[in-house]
Structure 1
Amino acid sequence: MNKQTMKPMAALLLAAFVLPCVGIAVYSPVSNAADKKEEAQKPALTVSVTRPEKTTLPIRLTANGNVAAWQEASIGSESNGLRLTEVRVNVGDVVKKGQVLAVFSADTVNADVAQARAALLEAEATAAEAKANAARARTLESSGALSAQQISQYLTAEQTANARIASARAALNSQQLRLRYTQVVAPDSGVISARSATVGAVVGAGTELFRMVRQGRLEWRAEVTAADLRNIRVGGAARVKAANGSELTGKVRMIAPTVDPQTRSALVYVDLPTDTGANAPFKAGMFATGQFELGESGAFTLPQQSVAVRDGFSYVFRLSQDSRVHQTKIQPGRRIGDRIEVLSGIAADTVVVQSGAGFLNDGDLVAVSNAPRVAPPAGGARASK
């Protein structure tokens, strides 16, 4: 085969190879665009929708504070230089008013009481003799058998003897009081919160032996800002929760008359129910959080699953007529159960995604599994501008 014959054949073979490739290059982009368009029309997610509902929510003010004793009593020694022989109570014991808590040695005091009692008897005997002499002097005063000076001496001796009786009786009372002080008694009912009394110790007068929570009463001292004080009323309810999970409902007893100039907050004293048992849920010194019940008010709410939190802000996804969703920022408010208050951002008749909000992006096409309600609720939440 000569060269002139081979050239046309090579050209034909090259054309047969190139033309299909050109066809693929020409028609392939058109096919891909159609596929992408078909995929773009496919819903990203099947969701359910809802509208804000008008409901009534409680108004609550949250605060922090410490649990403390309503009043603490310091129980000390009134005896001086006596040895402690018996301690009858310990920390946590519930005591009644007048109950004996500790006993001091009374041997020395008993001896002093006996001596004072003997001194009183002696003074009474001396006074009886002086009284008889004074009576005889009075009868002889008119007869002139005794001089005026002698009569005056007998009368003075009678008065002196009576004064000595009073002095001896006072000394006896003092020693009997010392004897009574050898027993340390509870000044009120309550719970022993601290004990420093030790058997065998010799303590001075005024030394603290016990501390007691009077009547077992505890209170929550909540720190409330000055701006919120006007919303709290004496006698109002407060729900208090301790760090261990225990909860109690207390009552506002008093609002402090002053505000701390450093923190600009004031203390609100909340009485807690009395529980003096060993398993009492609250203990003095605990940290606790609580909420003051301030009444109720109307609100528009959504299920919490409708709200997506992103970058620290709350959003809902509005459903448009073309079945696309639009991310809308809202201002959340109070929460109760599984619902959250919407303060602003959407109107009351806005249809929003209920389930699946956390998986959507702005502009996504969705399929709706439930038809939105036709009649919107009365009123409306404030829409953001």
Structure 2
Amino acid sequence: MMSNDRKTLLTAVAVSSLLAAGVGAFAGKALLAPKVAPAAEAGEDHAGEKPHVTITPERIAADGITLMTLSGGGLDAAVSAQATVVATPHGAATLAARADGAIVRINKRLGDPVSAGEVVAVIESRDAAAISAERSAAAAKVVAARQALARERKLFDARITARQDLEAAQAAAAIAEAELGRATSASAAAGVSGNGRTLAVTSPISGHITASTATLGAYVTAGSELFRVADPDSIEIQAALPVSDAQRVKPGNPAVVETANGSVPAIVRSVTPGLDAESRSATAVLAVTGPSQMLTPGQALRARITPRNAATGASDRFAVPDEAVQSVNGADVVFVRTKAGFEPRPVRVGRRGGGQVEIISGVRAGDQIASKGAFLLKAELGKGEAGH
């Protein structure tokens, strides 16, 4: 039979073993438990940032993003039409040969600037020699007629000759003067040079050479086109209007011309009273009232004209292309131009039709938005949100 002291010792050893096992298990769990990161290290908080697409002007031009400035007028107010940039009547000129001859000198090439009155080419011509000879002969006749008139005047003053002789000398001198004037004008119109052998082809306006068919040494006939000159600053816009819209558009109506690099303000100068036989449309001529650096003769674009009576009461509504309105997170937005790029701004849209959509609220007149290429900005916005 075991003694009491021995039983007490065995009980103490068992209790110590159990306590040691419990402490070891707790320490193992503590070491294996995951560490909780501080709240500051969980990541940056972008919840308070305003959505924005940062993009440079060079990138805007390279991506073909078109800008337009909002002006008052709903879907019914704006008249959208295809248009073309053309030179004004005094902004383009055709340089032609004024007589038969061979081209002996070409001073300007395609694209070169030209000043009004500058010699572009020189033609050697037999007609020039004939015109020069007529001018010389007329000048000689004038000298002879003046001398004869001076003698007759002296004789008449001395009462040697009759008055009719003096009057005949005066008439002959007048005829000689008129013949000299005609020959001189013909020489100037033909551009005969001082040597009497060549004709100068000069430009009547300042601008740039836009076309050239002249070849050195080539023989040309009178009336042959040699060069075309255009002044890039003397341009106008011709917009084709359907008959239904032509009746609404009047001279003085404001307009906006949309280009790949932005919009240019303009004003309606005139509207043709009849329709073109081929296109069955009227032509509205727009005068550019803003910077014209973005416009080039021959360029095709779109014009938006706002009739004054239609714009009344609709100054808080704007007609924009369908592409200008994009859906972001289930909301309709337009991308408004900022200093650093574009800001997606929620808008409320109304009716749609004819490739246009009416914005009822969310933007103001004068805001500049992206029309063509707005989907590219939507894609850039999605990339930015994914990065956050």
Q: TM-score, normalised by structure 1?
A: 0.49
The structure whose Rg is larger is: 1
Which is strand-richer, 1 or 2? 1
